[in-house]
Structure 1
Amino acid sequence: MKIDTKSPVMITGATGYVAGWIVKGLLDAGLTVHAPVRDPDNSEKLQHLTNLAANSAGEIKFFKADLLDEGSYDEAMQGCAVVFHTASPFTINVKDAQKELIDPAVNGTRNVLTQARKTDSVKRIVLTSSCAAIYTDASDCAKAPNGTLTEDIWNTTSSLDYQPYSYSKTLAEKEAWKIADAQSQ
């Protein structure tokens, strides 16, 4: 799909590693990037993105939003033709996997995709996932036909107690597919 360079694009998780590279590519291509973040006034955390914009043909605009706040992506998404959803919590040392990983990953995906469906300008959604959604350990790999991991393979070994980050990525991607399958767009 060719991106209309006159329309802004929105990217969740813009301060993250993968999203940062996507932002750089979009800015270098001269696009306006809408970056919803928890605290748009935290100039220290956003400095690397501000620097990318200053050294590119594009522009970046920050908006206040939170994965768990339904409707908080409305303003950032207005006018955007494409939405990149990369945001997902990542931490290894968790006290409450449900609260720290699962809820933000699944509900955040649901909130972003629901808002995209309500926003007339959005024509395309790009969701980044992870290899964690298809395998956690060798037993998942052993189940793959001919040892080849494909989009038909799902992580079956992670749980709230074992590799909860992988579990959160699996559940979030499954939620995205469920939402996509329920739409006629």
Structure 2
Amino acid sequence: MEACCKVCVTGASGYIASLLINKLLAKGYTVHATLRDLKDESKVGLLKSFPQSQQKLVLFEADIYNSVDFEPAIKGCQFVFHVATPLIHEPGSQFKDITEASLAGSKNIAMYCKRAGTVKRLIYTGSVVSASPMKDDGTGFKDVMDETCWTPLNDSLAYLFHDAYVKDYVYSKTVTEKYMLSCGNDGNGAGLEVVTLLCGVVGGDTLQSFTPGSVRICISPITGNTNGCKSLEFVQQFLGKIPLVHVDDVCEAHIFCMESTSSINGRFLCASSYVSLKEIANHYVLHHSEFTVNQEYADGPKKDMKWGSTKLFAKGFAYKYDTKMILDDCIKCARRMGDL
């Protein structure tokens, strides 16, 4: 299949997408990759440095804020990975916020997938923030966190958002995922299949030339990065604990869902660990004593929340990286980049 199969990956220069593209090229797929700016030599250079890129990689300029540009990239493809997501709103655009931009872009991408007539499966890179087990009134958590959980988009959670950026991101990922799922077939094998992979906090190494933002968040208990620590605290308050996943497992999960020979639809949580901030801090205390960990995190509460997601396991997917491996690779990455 790989030798004659074309796939599209949006947001090609990102942390997840760049590694995903590298893996797809190594497996023999032809990749249509989209970038916001083909004149950005650092991003284009990264993608063109991958083995097989000269023969198997085709770059397209496309932007979520002008999503009509995605149609040429999707045309002729059998699978589409929609990884791109707006993180910072572009003032003066036709959209009022990133939720509107993300939704409009995703609507067009889904439409182009159906219009192409060749796309079998659309795989959307979602986030666990759209699956909070918080009760609708914000008074507490459900018993477990699994794929039946949906973040309640109402004022009951307002006290958890430490800034407008976090709220915008949560709303954007939740609203967009719901729309993407509505575009899929009903499981009868006819029409477009849609998979949403809700990734936890992503750690590990990178192909990029800098430490990714999510890796900086993972190591914030030892760097003292205030915003990173606030992000971990928010995730714990919002999801009960912190779902962690290695970037390599994320990419392998995407490819697994693409290569599934049986019909596959719906949402899948993607995280190999479900830990407290206390457990993360104590890992650094125990295994990386050369760093000073804020005692406030090491002594923090450990909530008795359960991870109930087994859907990827049931399909046959297996994670390779546990908590220790994820956090150790975050440190390795930051050291290599000179940030530790």
Matches of 2:108 and 2:181, distance apart in 1: 14
- Contact between 1:81 and 1:122, CA under 8 Å: does it hold in 2? yes
Deviations 1:84-136 (A, max 9, x none): 01110124x9989x634212211111111111010111111111100111129
Q: What SS does the corresponding residue of 1:22 show, helix, strand or coil?
A: helix
1:71 aligns with 2:68: yes
Shift of 1:41: 2.7
- Contact between 1:65 and 1:72, CA under 8 Å: does it hold in 2? yes
104, 107, 111: which one aligns with 2:108: 111
Closer/same/farther in 2, CA of residues 58 and 166 from structure 1, 3 Å limit: farther
| Paired position in structure 2 for 1:38 | 36
Q: Gaps spanning 5+ residues in structure 2: where?
A: 192-340
Deviations 1:154-173 (A, max 9, x none): 11236895621111100110
Q: How many residues align?
A: 178
- Contact between 2:64 and 2:86, CA under 8 Å: does it hold in 1? no
| Paired position in structure 2 for 1:59 | 56
Shift of 1:4: 4.1
Shift of 1:182: 8.5
86, 90, 94: which one aligns with 2:87: 90
Shift of 1:67: 1.7
- Contact between 2:82 and 2:124, CA under 8 Å: does it hold in 1? yes
Using the aligned pairs only, state the percent identity: 26
- Contact between 1:24 and 1:52, CA under 8 Å: does it hold in 2? yes
- Contact between 2:133 and 2:150, CA under 8 Å: does it hold in 1? no
- Contact between 1:89 and 1:100, CA under 8 Å: does it hold in 2? no
In the TM superposition, 1:14-33 aligns within 5 A as: 14-33=12-31
Matches of 2:139 and 2:46, distance apart in 1: 37
Q: Using CA pairs under 8 Å that are at least 6 residues apart, name the structure with larger relative contact order, 1 or 2.
A: 1
Q: Gaps spanning 5+ residues in structure 1: where?
A: none
Shift of 1:59: 2.2
| Paired position in structure 2 for 1:163 | 167
Matches of 1:136 and 1:142, distance apart in 2: 9
Larger Rg: 2
Shift of 1:180: 2.3
Closer/same/farther in 2, CA of residues 137 and 20 from structure 1, 3 Å limit: farther
| Paired position in structure 2 for 1:49 | 47
- Contact between 2:133 and 2:149, CA under 8 Å: does it hold in 1? no
Matches of 1:119 and 1:141, distance apart in 2: 46
Q: What SS does the corresponding residue of 1:83 show, helix, strand or coil?
A: strand
Write the letter of the residue equivalent to 1:150.
Answer: D
Shift of 1:140: 6.4
165, 178, 183: which one aligns with 2:182: 178
Matches of 1:95 and 1:36, distance apart in 2: 22
Closer/same/farther in 2, CA of residues 140 and 26 from structure 1, 3 Å limit: farther
Deviations 1:26-74 (A, max 9, x none): 01112111012222232222221111245x7962111122223353212
Closer/same/farther in 2, CA of residues 46 and 136 from structure 1, 3 Å limit: farther
| Paired position in structure 1 for 2:11 | 13
Q: What SS does the corresponding residue of 1:152 show, helix, strand or coil?
A: coil
Matches of 1:110 and 1:169, distance apart in 2: 14
Q: What SS does the corresponding residue of 2:69 show, helix, strand or coil?
A: coil
Closer/same/farther in 2, CA of residues 100 and 21 from structure 1, 3 Å limit: farther
Matches of 1:78 and 1:131, distance apart in 2: 30
Matches of 1:16 and 1:26, distance apart in 2: 15
Closer/same/farther in 2, CA of residues 40 and 8 from structure 1, 3 Å limit: same
Matches of 1:143 and 1:137, distance apart in 2: 4
